[in-house]
Structure 1
Amino acid sequence: MEMPLATDRLVIRDWSAGDAEAAYEVYGTAQVTHWLTPAMDRVTDVAAMRSVLQAWLEAQPNMIPPRGRWAVERKSDGAVVGGLGIRLLPPFREDLELSWQLHPDAWGQGYATEASRALIEWAFTQDTDELFAVARPNNTRAVATAKRLGMEWVGETTKYYDLSLQVYRIRHSDIAEQR
């Protein structure tokens, strides 16, 4: 499986410079940025989002798979409804974090689970054995998504981002067991 990835309803693809307005609708929304780790201020306007996207686009080719950042696009209308990422967690940069961010209008439709499941399956074809998700304790939506993905709760820590976070993990062997 190579990028872009497709599910029944979604396409997971690289961000493009033309996605600035759609990305701003996600990352410019306090309801989304409030929960991000590391803590991220709301992107203030489309021009600032364009700069963020440019940095992501420049970094992407240098990331060793499965690391990266991707747009989540709805097939039915081509709308970008969110983003996904896999990156190294601080402080030791050993553990890979899976993250998902969706526009509030896309919440509750199963998109985060659908897109993340496809990305997990792809990541496990890239010489990766496990992925982690971290969530602030009150982020019930992220915790529920991690559980729907079959991720196992491994505890609470302040190790990552100096925040008190719930940690979930999925291993390659867990995927085989779920089938």
Structure 2
Amino acid sequence: MGLELPTDRLRIREWELSDADAALKVYGAEEVAHWLTPEWQPVNDVDAMRSVLHAWIEAGPNLVPPAGRWAIVRESDGELVGGLSLKLLPPFEEDFELTWALRPDVWGQGYATEASQALMDWAFKQGIEEVFAVARPNNTRAIAVARRLGMEWVGETEKYYDMRLQVFRMRPA
């Protein structure tokens, strides 16, 4: 059984292939895709999104725990509103990165912060010593979420993804 993590308004759960239509509204949206990592390939249709979900689901058991990718579902209506991941940052794959992506129509409702906080709390209980978030310097929304999470700004680097990024870090309290 995979991760099922409730928050006040959301549920973080494993991805399912049946999520493809809803996931496309997140990862297929230009406003979202623009900010994703450089290796992200645009997802333009449901079949492509289903293939991405299939790859994520298949890769899950092979990831270094507690890494993974999860869907964010709104409890009030069961709507899939976004996704989260906890993955190893390149190039040395020793630092865990927290990522979030939401449908543009739900931006500004605090879902990214709520879901990310729950996932970080869970990750720390799994023994992770620190979690990083990276953002392009002009990605004001991602930077604002990192700050609302209480993440400490540690500087800028080109170490990850071969581009200049703002780096934020959280350690267990």
TM-score by length of 1: 0.94
Q: 1:6 and 2:6 equivalent?
A: yes
Matched residues in 2 for 1:141 and 1:39: separation?
Answer: 21
Aligned residue number for residue 116 of structure 1: 116
Q: Describe how 1:84-123 pairs up with structure 2 within 5 A.
A: 84-123=84-123
Letter in 2 for 1:115: A
Counterpart AA for 2:69:
R
> Match of 2:17?
17
- CA drift of 1:134 comes to 0.2
Aligned residue pairs, count: 172
1:39 CA displacement: 4.5
Tell me the SS of whatever aligns to 1:124.
helix
Give CA-to-partner distance per residue, 1:43-93, whole Å, 9 cap, x none: 010000000000000011222322000000000110100000000101111
> What SS class does the counterpart of residue 41 from structure 1 fall into?
coil
Q: Distance in 2 between matches of 1:27 and 1:39?
A: 13
Is the CA contact 1:65–1:123 (under 8 Å) kept in the aligned structure 2?
A: no
What is the correspondence of 1:17-166 to structure 2 with a 5 Å cutoff? Answer: 17-166=17-166
Identity %: 66
Is the 8 Å Cα contact of residues 137 and 165 (structure 1) preserved in structure 2?
A: yes
Residue range with higher mean Cα deviation, 86-95 or 30-39? 30-39
Structure 1 runs not aligned, ≥5 long? none
**Deviation sequence 1:127-179 (CA, Å, 0-9, x none):** 1000000000000000000000010000001110001100000001xxx3xxx
SS of the equivalent of 2:21 reads helix
